[in-house]
Structure 1
Amino acid sequence: KQTPSQNLWNRFVKYDDRILAFLEHPDIPFDNNQAERDIRMTKVKQKVSGTFRSKEGAESFCQIRSFMRTMKKQKQSDLQAIGQVIA
């Protein structure tokens, strides 16, 4: 069995092009904080309500949340985003 440090080194060697991609491509963030922030609301909702009542409810929540986050990243207000869906 390999040591944890050897496993880490092996993964670094195997995925070095992905790990260091942000050095060659400035548009790639060097951390995953945004991804963690994007899923945070889902965890808060789950914690407050205990769970989602159905799989469909969870999927709908995630789809709506994803759409709203995308619109926010595109600098659109919530009302503009909802207006696009209704129109």
Structure 2
Amino acid sequence: MRFQQYKTAILAFLRDAQIPFDNNQAERDIRMVKVKTKISGAFCTTTGAEQFARIRSIVSTLLKQNLFVLKSLTFAIQGRLQF
């Protein structure tokens, strides 16, 4: 009954790519680590895992701020941070 009443709102993510599947940002951030682990088996070193987490954190923050990821990362590597 409740699903039928809110069906349009519940399934809105199917029509609009801007609407997330769920509302749990932390879960979405962790999901990338799980995908990486499934693909490669595991991280070879703790340092590699920390670097991956750091980069994913930066990318996630850039996306949340509606900034261009590749352009921003390129500027950061070149030491030309722009805010």
TM-score w.r.t. length of structure 1:
0.59
Which of structures 1 and 2 has the bigger CA Rg?
1
Higher relative contact order (CA 8 A, sep 6+): 2
**Structure 1: 4+ residue segments shifted above 4 A:** none
| Greater percentage in helix | 1
Cα RMSD over matched residues? 1.6
**1 CA distance for matches of 2:41 and 2:74?**
31
Listed as ranges, the gaps of 5+ residues in structure 1 are 1-30
C-alpha displacement at 1:44, in angstroms?
A: 0.2
Q: Which runs of 5+ in 2 are unaligned?
A: 1-21
- The percent of aligned pairs where both chains have the same amino acid is 53
Note the C-alpha offset of 1:84.
3.3
- TM-score in terms of structure 2 length: 0.62
- What is the total number of aligned residue pairs between the two structures? 57
